[in-house]
Structures are given as C-alpha cells and as structure tokens.
Amino acid sequence: MKEKQQPEENMQRKVLPISMDAGFFFERAVSSLDRRHYDKALKYFRKAVEFEPNNPVNHCNMAGILSEMGNYEDSNAALAVVLEEIDPSMTECYFYMANNYANMDMFEEAEEALITYLEQDSNGQFLLEAEEMMDLLQYELDRPTQIKSIKVMEGVVEHDKARELLEEGKFTQAVKLLEDIVEKKPDFMAARNNLALGYYYLGLFPKALDTIHEVLEAEPGNLHGLCNLAILYQHAGELARLSELAVRLSKIVPFHQEHLFKLATTMGILGQHGAAYGHFKRLLQNEDMKYDPSLSHYAAVAAYNTGNYEAANSLWHQVKRLDPDGELADFYIHRLELINAGAEPYPISYQYHLPFEEQFKQWGSGIDGIPAEIRENPMVRSSFFWALRHGDSKTKLQVIQAFGLIADLEVEEALKDFLLEPEEDPYLKDAALFVLRSLGVNKPLPVCWGETTTIVDPSRVASKLPIWKSEWQEVVDLAMKQMKRSCDLSQQLDLETLWAEFLTLLYPNTPAITHIEGWAAALEYLIAKMHRRSVTYETIAERYGISASTVRRYASRIDEVCGVKEKMKNIFPSVQ
C-alpha cells in the first residue's frame, strides 16, 4: 500500500520565514567577529553590502576585515568605493588606505593617501597615528613628507583647551571658547560636536540641537554627531525619530576605542542597556582600559539595568578593588543586597558618582564645602547645571546652595545667567543673589522679574528701602556667622527676608539699632522656630553672650511688627 504524501502546501505552512536583510547579516558578522572567525565575518559583511550597497558603514566594515586578513588590495578597493561613489566626506578612509599601502610596502602611495587624509580631515580621529606613520614613511623614503597643512591642527590648541574645560566641568568657559573656534573655522566638526555638548550640559537644548544638525549636514555619518542627536531626541521626546536613529546606531561596531566608548555611553543613556553592556565589555577586554574603575562601573550599571545582578555585583566588586577609597561601589553593592532581600529595583544612571540626592544627604547643610574630588568632577557639575535649569524648586534651591560651596567663576556665571531667566521663582533669585553676595560679587547685576528687568546690588540685603544702614547689615552679618554651620540656605535667606520686612514695615520710624547681638539673636531664634528646629531663648542667648530675657524682648518686638507666630500657626497649626 502506498503511503499518503503530505500536501506540499501544508509542508510550506510549517516553514518559518527568516528576514534576511542587511541587519541580519550584520549581526551574523559581528557574532563571527567576537569568535574571531574572520572568514565568516567577511562573508556576512559582503552580504550586508549586497543588501545595502549605499551604506558606507558596511563597506568600511568589510574593508576592515579584509585588512585584518592581510588582503590589503581588496580592502583599499572597498574604501575607494566609499570615497568615490557613496560618501566622499569620510576622510578617515584615506588613513585606512595609507595603512594598507604601507603594509604592502607601497610607501609613496601610502604617503599620498596620508597627506590627503591630513589635508582634508577635520576631525583628527587618527592624528597621532598619522604622525607615527609619517615618521615611518620619512624613514622608508629617506626624505621629509611634503605636506602643506594639517587641516585639523587649525585651532587645535584652542580646541584642546576647550576640551580640558569641558572635562573640568567649566562649561560656560568652554562654550565661549568653542563658539570662537567655530566662528573662525566653520568646518572644525570636532569643535562643533563639543560645542553641542557644552550647550547640552548647560541645559541649552535648542542651541545644542541646532549645532548637531550643522555637524550632520556637513558629515551625515559623523558618529559623535549621531550619538549627540539621539540624546537630544530623547530629551525632546521625539520618539519616532529616536527609534529610527537607535536602530541605525545599533548596527555600528566601531573599531576605534573612543568611538566605541561614545557609542556605549550613548546606548546606555538611551536605555539600550543590553547593547551598552556589550560595548562596555568589549572595552574592558582592552589591556589599557580594564583597570579603569569608571569603565567597570559603567558596565556594572548596564548589567544592573538589564537585570543581570550577578554580573553587576562582580563588576562593582572590581570597582571597589580598583578604587578602594571611593564610596560608589559600596553604595551600589548595598543596593543589590537590598534587592536580594526583596526591595524594589529601579533604574540607575551611568555617572561615576553617587546619585544627586544622595550627595546632598551626605554633604548636609552644616559643612565647610563640597569635597574636592566631588567639586571637580565634571559630571557632578553637569548635573548641577542641569538641575538648576530643569529641576523642581527644592532641587534648584539645593543647587544654588551647592554653588555657594563650590565658589568658583563658573558658578558665578551660572547664577548670573539664572537671574535673567524671566520665569524663575523670585524667591530662588533672591537665593542666587544671596549666594553671589557670599562669593564676594558686589557689582550691580541685571535681574529679570517677569517682564521687568531691574539692576540689583547684590552686596546689600534685598529690600525696597531707599537706604540700607551699616548697623542693619551688621545684624545680618552676625546672625549669618552664628548660623552658617547649622542652617541651610533657605533658613539664612528667610532671616534676611524677615529682617528686611521688619525694617520696611517700620520705615522711616525704624528703631535705633545699637544692640547688634540682641537683634541678631532674636532673628536666629525666630527663624529656628519657623523651620521647626528645637531651640530655647537660653541656648541662643548663650551663643551671643547675652541674657535670655534680651533675646525674648527683641524677638517679641520683631513678632509684634511682622506677625511671625501668626504666620507659623497658619503654616504649622500645632505651633504655639
């Protein structure tokens, strides 16, 4: 008896279709690369080129594999296709070609390609390597290389200084310098990319976006520009554009360490933690980078955010070994212990410092200053600038207080700019003026109050009085001196406000201020009560070297005029 044959159409229904596009072959190529199967990787990259012949990344990847396999002539042919047919702005291809020619002992051709790279490239990605190759070629050709100019070196000294300023967190100074460089040298793409970062760190997002678009109009394949654009899209909520760009970035596997790090951090910021983890792990395989504690932390964060707590724990213990004096590893290891005990996990950032709120908890209000290693950390400073523009009122007040502790020219500029923001809370502007005064700023400054801009002297307490007597200021100064180590910025600012209110309500019949200690002590006592701090007339009196009855008398006088206790009852009904 004949066996029944299954209908062909039924068999076809059981076959699962595979989407064999460029992305499919790209992923296969990367997988083969990780296993060092270069012949398979080449095969898959060739297929990716067939599916996307106008994508220069595919051609460059194929050229890189060919070079690794010693097939330098075919590698240069692939690079020539990029330069002649797809994207002539990818000047780094000339450097790759020079490498290939040198490996074939074709030194004159290598020199020609290298000169073209140096004269046309505006990024300087391989500048150091190009200088080393130039030394080799001079030796082999027994003559100096005839080069007219190195394009990227135009303005390079100033650009290096600007990068240093960015790394130090001095974003305002860096932006001013970078703006000048870009104005003088519009095709300096590295400077434009860093200018966009400077705007971003300062919270100036429209300017950052415009600058990134300028980069990508000139160089559509610029990786730094693409990464920066993705971060800006995320900030602006441009989800459709972000999704499309994220797919493009996910297909890139840079060979250069700087590009790999940029892409890794970008994917982490975008929430593509699996991709970020893979890139960070590749970086940690590099002998020069595996001892960097911050890199191990970034990889740990990526692992944590994917739910791979075991890998995160191992990496944070590595951070602890590399940075035994730091608090960061212990903080996150403890967080993992809490999660294992049943606590709810939540995403964490990639910055190599404690979370913003945790830092304020540790610094407290009665400290002499922020630790130098924190104060000089550019990412901490960036988080301050970010929070000053985009945080809630409480956070902004904390940042203004922190700026008073950092006390450098950068924060002075930031506070002055803050005074010109028309929609910011007047109370916060008073706080900014208070901090500027504490930093020694005594020149009149413009302050925008809604639709009106006035000139304010930060050296005197804010008030509407036509005069401000020296003895009135002495009361404030003495109280501030006593309160400085135990009270935060809001309490100090409230003290000034209460004193100005008292004098304003009585003006011009203000009392003669002869007992400086009595008035200062009374102000401190009332502010302590307003902020629900436990205090007595006796403890305050002892600190000022006066009697408790004197403190009570002056406090009663201020309360009589300003109605402090009545205000406290409305805010805190339990206060009597």
Tens digit of each residue's pLDDT, the chain (576 residues): 444 454 555 544 544 444 555 566 566 766 666 666 667 777 777 777 676 777 887 788 888 888 888 889 988 998 998 888 888 888 889 999 999 999 998 999 999 988 888 888 877 778 888 888 888 888 888 887 777 667 666 677 788 888 888 877 778 888 999 999 999 888 888 899 999 988 888 878 889 999 999 999 998 888 999 998 998 888 778 888 889 998 899 888 887 788 888 899 889 888 889 999 999 998 888 877 778 888 899 999 999 999 999 999 999 999 889 888 777 788 888 888 888 888 787 777 776 554 545 455 555 443 345 555 555 555 566 667 767 776 777 778 777 877 777 777 777 888 888 888 888 888 788 888 878 877 777 787 888 877 777 777 666 666 666 677 888 888 988 888 887 766 667 787 788 888 888 888 888 888 888 899 999 999 988 888 887 788 888 988 998 999 999 989 999 999 888 887 776 654 433 332
Structure tokens at 128: 């150091």
What pLDDT, on the 0 to 100 scale, is given for residue 416?
A: 85
Q: Are 99 and 70 in contact (CB under 8 A)?
A: no
Residues 33, 38, 39, 43, CA torsion sign: positive
What pLDDT, on the 0 to 100 scale, is given for residue 499?
A: 86
Q: Are 12 and 28 in contact (CB under 8 A)?
A: no
In this structure, the dihedral spanned by the alpha carbons of residues 77, 220, 251 and 240, taken in order and rounded to 10 degrees, is -150
**Spatial CA neighbour of 197 closest among 247, 163, 235, 246:** 163
Question: How far, in Å, CA of 121 to CA of 188, rounded?
Answer: 9
Strand, helix or coil for residue 446 = strand
Question: How far, in Å, CA of 29 to CA of 402, rounded?
Answer: 50
Q: What fold, for 470-571? A: Cyclin A; domain 1 (1.10.472)
**Spatial CA neighbour of 291 closest among 253, 319, 312, 313:** 319
Q: What fold, for 156-340? A: 1.25.40
Structure tokens at 346: 């939540």
**Spatial CA neighbour of 162 closest among 188, 144, 137, 139:** 188
For tokens 């020069």, the residue is: 288
Q: Alpha carbon of 221 to those of 33, 81, 161, 477: distances in Å? A: 23, 16, 26, 58
What pLDDT, on the 0 to 100 scale, is given for residue 46?
A: 77
Q: Are 195 and 164 in contact (CB under 8 A)?
A: no
Let me know how long the chain is. Answer: 576
- If phi over 0 gives left and psi between -120 and 50 gives alpha, with beta otherwise, what is residue 31? alpha
Please give the DSSP secondary-structure letter assigned to residue 449: E
pTM of the predicted model over 0.85: no
What pLDDT, on the 0 to 100 scale, is given for residue 367?
A: 39
* Class of CATH domain 22-147: mainly alpha
What pLDDT, on the 0 to 100 scale, is given for residue 401?
A: 75
No. of H helices and E strands in the chain? Answer: 31, 2
Amino acid of residue 435: V
What pLDDT, on the 0 to 100 scale, is given for residue 568?
A: 63
**Spatial CA neighbour of 251 closest among 25, 17, 89, 67:** 25
